[in-house]
């Protein structure tokens, strides 16, 4: 029986991951004991998993998790970038010091087990660890020079996780996720939200604002690809990482014009007509500092896979999150 | 009156820095109020500076320093690499969490001053933030993937200092110092100690062990260059750093054979004869993971200067630390 914890299991990606793990397990008859840990959960219940409500910034709750000695911990819990930028204290405490507390609690379990307990830690880092100016494509040896507190916290966690792993206390890997698109559900307040919004809202018959020029290029992967990255990482033999335990992941690099063209192919001009250009200089400025393209050779060689183009990303959204979309014009 | 604190002021580089600051001030009639803070100090007294004995891992002592609102803080205090590797807890607590505590204490002063108090922080990072495999020359955009706890702690401090600076709480810069060579005084237990030992001991008529092949290439700067890096950094307008506040510094890349050849030119074959090859596989393995060469273009453009070759490094040692050496054969 493999014991799995998903920290941040109430979030969009945590839920996708849990669903996928349950589905995979039922197909392979694997026995999984899956616990989701988060401050809150969506109302839907997911069969076969345990929900634990708690806060990773409380040391006692971290210690309780460690004491259960999970085989695999997916650590997705975080204060998002906008809030981490607005609340400096909270961002560092939750995003970095909670990672430290978690790893320290696991190190104690490792010691008490005589070194035999070495949990796998899959940590969701972010392309926010990078800051401009950027090369045409960011390669696997490009420096991490974050320009947000969120990015700095993720980069610091990578270093800490890597050192705990090098010493053999845990077996960790940091995944620098592309922007996850198309996010299902309601718009959120992330500055990156419009990348999903301009696809999701029109597919649901709603208008969507486009706050930046359509020449903006960015790096995307679907929620399904995101969940599969995490699952694939847990199966990796980390010896192949040669002690470089932070990975740039595959994704789709495209401009907003290319996103819109993909939408047109999938759902027609009437969907595209629902996108309303409405310049927002604050968002333009933020997005200007974001990576646009990668050459993630290590991750590709290690078997990580994303979509091949933005049309596939839209198709994934329709399959996974909008089954009613079969009424759409071009489907 | 400029108020300066040197944390780690009792160490070799801290002492060199204090001496140089006092010398510069007397030449320019600048008024400096210099305090050295360390767990211990060498017996020699240095005129014009205050010594404070204390431990940067004690929050109360950090707060006392911050409460004095120094204009410039040189933060050189650290557990050295060997000890940080042997004592995981102590290394992270002293090398990273003390940095956090220092910056938090300064952030409180910044807030209480209504944002007007923004101290300059000059932090001695290290080329240990890099881990192999390396390119032929490490450029300014090469990733930080440390392979020691010491390197990971320094890299994490860089990220934290950079984020506090970006937010305007302090004005920091991290200097990735080359290996400082020739270190004066007694041999220390650092794995890098032999780089100095094979020059210093022969110049003092003593034998020195060489634990690695003479083909090993490494990156050096003299203690005087080290002190001048720190002084130069304090004068920089950090706006020129474009929010990339960790700098690779200039140095001399040379093989041990080239070091020895420089020694021969300066002090003759009799000095070279005092070097005794004595392979140490543990040290060979450690040194194998160290950077060999850099292309530090940003630092050069910002006016940082090191020696041009290893002969100059030896000449600096003779001038600064071995004034009696004028009796040497070839001088």
CATH of domain A193-219+251-292+308-327: 3.90.25.10
What's the CA gap between B32 and B308, in Å, rounded? 31
Residues of B in contact with A152 (CB under 8 A): 159-160, 162-163
Least confident of A87-96, A296-305, B41-50, B170-179: B41-50
Contact A88 B156 (CB under 8 A): no
Residue where the block lists tokens 């989701």: A36
Residue where the block lists tokens 């000695």: A69
> Identical fold at A2-178+223-248 and A193-219+251-292+308-327?
no
Spatial contact of B237 and B208, defined as CB atoms under 8 Å apart: no
Burial label, A154 (beta-carbon count in 10 A; 0-12, 13-18, 19+) = buried
Q: Is B60 on the interface with A (CB under 8 A)?
A: no
Q: Calculate the CA A145 to chain-centre distance.
A: 20
How many Cα atoms within 13 Å fall on the side-chain side of residue A324? 3
Is residue B44 scored above 90 in pLDDT? no
Is residue B282 scored above 90 in pLDDT? no
What's the CA gap between A213 and A105, in Å, rounded? 47
Is residue B298 scored above 60 in pLDDT? yes
Is residue B13 scored above 50 in pLDDT? yes
Q: Using one digit for the tens of pLDDT, what is the confidence trace for B216-227?
A: 999 999 999 999
Q: Using one digit for the tens of pLDDT, what is the confidence trace for B112-138?
A: 999 999 999 999 999 999 999 999 999
CB atoms within 10 A of CB A220: 22
Q: Is residue A117 annotated as part of the catalytic site, yes or no?
A: no
Spatial contact of B73 and B5, defined as CB atoms under 8 Å apart: yes
Structure tokens at B18: 């204090």
Q: What are the backbone dihedrals phi and psi of residue B160, each rounded to the nearest 5 degrees, phi first?
A: -70, -45
How far apart, in Å, are the Cα atoms of B84 and each of A243, B90, B101, B154, B218? 18, 7, 19, 11, 22
CB atoms within 10 A of CB A320: 17
Q: Which pLDDT tens digits describe chain A residue by residue (331 residues)?
A: 999 999 999 999 999 999 999 999 888 888 899 999 999 999 987 888 999 999 999 999 999 999 999 999 999 999 988 899 999 999 999 999 999 999 999 999 999 999 999 999 999 999 999 999 999 999 999 999 999 999 999 999 999 999 999 999 999 999 999 999 999 988 776 788 999 999 999 999 999 999 999 999 999 999 999 999 999 999 999 999 999 999 999 999 999 999 999 999 999 999 999 999 999 998 898 888 899 999 999 999 999 999 999 999 999 999 999 876 544 544 4
How much is the ipTM here? Answer: 0.95
Name the residue ranges covered by the structural domains of chain B.
Answer: 2-178+221-248, 193-219+251-293+309-327
Residue of chain A minimizing CA distance to B140: A143
How far apart, in Å, are the Cα atoms of B64 and each of B68, B101, B122? 7, 12, 19
Q: What are the residue ranges of helices labelled H in chain A? A: 12-28, 59-67, 81-86, 88-92, 98-112, 149-166, 193-203, 223-235, 256-272, 281-288, 297-301, 310-321
Torsion angle, alpha carbons of A63, A65, A70, A73, to 10: -100
How far apart, in Å, are the Cα atoms of A115 and each of A63, A120, B164, B235? 18, 14, 37, 49
What's the CA gap between B260 and B265, in Å, rounded? 9
Is residue B307 scored above 80 in pLDDT? yes
CATH 3.40.50.720 fits A2-178+223-248, yes or no: yes
Report the pLDDT value the prediction gives residue A331, as an integer from 0 to 100: 44
| For chain B, percent of residues with pLDDT exceeding 70 | 97
3-state secondary structure of A318: helix
Would the CA dihedral through A87, A93, A96, A102 be positive or negative? negative
When CB atoms are compared, the residue of A143, A147, A244 closest to B142 is A143
Residue of chain B minimizing CA distance to A97: B97
Q: For helices B193-203 and B310-321, give the axis angle rounded to 10 degrees.
A: 60
CA of A143, closest CA in chain B: separation in Å? 4
Instruction: Report chain B's terminal Cα–Cα distance, integer Å.
Output: 42
What single DSSP character describes residue A71? S
3-state secondary structure A262-289: HHHHHHHHHHHCCEEECCCHHHHHHHHC
Tally A–B CB contacts below 8 A.
62
Residues of A in contact with B159 (CB under 8 A): 144, 146, 152, 155-156, 159
With cut-offs at 50, 70 and 90, classify the pLDDT of residue B325: low
How far apart, in Å, are the Cα atoms of A331 and each of A34, B29, B130, B161, B208? 36, 80, 51, 52, 78
Residues of A in contact with B131 (CB under 8 A): 243-244
Spatial contact of B260 and B271, defined as CB atoms under 8 Å apart: no
When CB atoms are compared, the residue of A141, A163, A244 closest to B142 is A141
* Parallel, antiparallel or unpaired: strands A217-221 and A179-180: parallel
What average pLDDT does the structure give for chain B?
94
Length of chain B: 331
Q: Using one digit for the tens of pLDDT, what is the confidence trace for B229-240?
A: 999 999 999 999
Cα angle, residue B189 at apex, residues B184 and B190 outer, rounded to 5°: 85
Mean pLDDT on B259-279:
97
Mean pLDDT on B94-120:
98
Report the pLDDT value the prediction gives residue A325, as an integer from 0 to 100: 56
Report the pLDDT value the prediction gives residue A328, as an integer from 0 to 100: 52
CATH 3.30.830.10 fits B2-178+221-248, yes or no: no
Report the pLDDT value the prediction gives residue B328, as an integer from 0 to 100: 52
What's the CA gap between B48 and B33, in Å, rounded? 8
DSSP character string of A161-224: HHHHHHTTS-EEEEEEEPEE-SPPSS--S-TTHHHHHHHHHHHTT--EEE-S-TT-EEEEE-HH
Residue of chain A minimizing CA distance to B164: A149
| Superfamily for domain range B193-219+251-293+309-327 | UDP-galactose 4-epimerase, domain 1 (3.90.25.10)
Contact A243 B147 (CB under 8 A): yes
């Amino acid at each position: 029986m493999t014991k799995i914890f998903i920290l941040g299991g109430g979030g969009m990606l945590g839920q996708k991951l849990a669903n996928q793990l349950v589905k995979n397990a039922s197909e392979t008859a694997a026995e999984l004991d899956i616990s989701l840990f988060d401050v809150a959960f969506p109302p839907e219940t997911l069969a076969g998993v345990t929900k634990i409500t708690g806060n990773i910034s409380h040391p006692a709750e971290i210690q309780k998790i460690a004491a259960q000695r999970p085989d695999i911990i997916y650590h997705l819990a975080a204060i998002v970038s906008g809030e981490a930028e607005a609340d400096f204290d909270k961002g560092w405490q939750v995003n970095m010091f909670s990672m430290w507390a978690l790893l320290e609690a696991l190190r104690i379990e490792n010691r008490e087990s005589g070194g035999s307990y070495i949990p796998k830690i899959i940590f969701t880092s972010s392309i926010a660890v990078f800051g401009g100016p950027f090369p045409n494509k960011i390669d696997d040896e490009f420096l991490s020079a974050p320009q947000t507190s969120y990015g700095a916290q993720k980069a610091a966690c990578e270093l800490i996780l890597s050192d705990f792993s090098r010493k053999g206390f845990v077996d960790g890997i940091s995944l620098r996720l592309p922007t996850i698109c198309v996010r299902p559900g309601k718009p959120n307040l992330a500055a990156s939200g419009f990348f999903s919004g301009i696809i999701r809202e029109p597919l649901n018959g709603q208008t969507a604002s486009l706050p930046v020029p359509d020449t903006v290029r960015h790096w995307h992967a679907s929620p399904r690809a995101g969940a599969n990255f995490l699952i694939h990482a847990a199966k990796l033999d980390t010896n192949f990482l040669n002690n470089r335990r932070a990975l740039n992941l595959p994704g789709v690099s495209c401009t907003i014009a290319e996103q819109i063209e993909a939408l047109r192919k999938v759902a027609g001009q009437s969907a595209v007509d629902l996108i309303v250009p409405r310049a927002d200089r604050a968002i333009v400025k933020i997005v200007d500092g974001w990576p646009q393209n990668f050459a993630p050779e290590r991750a590709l060689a290690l078997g990580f896979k994303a979509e091949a183009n933005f049309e596939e990303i839209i198709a994934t959204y329709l399959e996974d999150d909008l089954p009613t979309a079969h009424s759409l014009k071009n489907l």
